[in-house]
Amino acid sequence: MTIADQIKETVTSNDVVLFMKGTKSMPQCGFSSRVAGVLNFMGVEFADVNVLADDDMRQGIKDYSDWPTVPQLYVKGEFVGGCDIITEMTLSGELDTLFSENAVTFDKDAADKIREANG
């Protein structure tokens, strides 16, 4: 199985996947920490893939999405974006809409608290 096949399998078999540096419980960079922190705070169940554990995966995810940086968030098999995009979507409420439209469970009150704290 190629790296692209592994990535496709991962993003299609999990509702929400974060390709990141480190793990959701121990992020290894600030950008990965921010996105994982938002998802964790909002109570979103997500699979985490540590790209630091596998150089082929680290490059493979960049090739797969045609996006040059990590972290990368996928919802229902679709690439959503990296840290800046997820931050903007969280603050604008677009991430809530995306999760709702895709039947991804999240804590709306927690999402509202993020917006209040950053408003």
In angstroms, what CA-CA distances link 93 with 3, 46, 87, 102? 33, 19, 10, 15
Give the closest residue to 10 by CA, choosing from 83, 81, 60: 60
Place of tokens 């990590």: 70
Q: Is the pLDDT of residue 119 over 90?
A: no
83 is in an annotated binding site: no
Average pLDDT of span 12-17: 98
- pTM of this prediction exceeds 0.95: yes
Mean pLDDT of the chain: 97
| Architecture category of domain 3-118 in CATH | 3-Layer(aba) Sandwich (3.40)
Q: Tens of pLDDT along 26-47?
A: 999 999 999 999 999 999 999 9
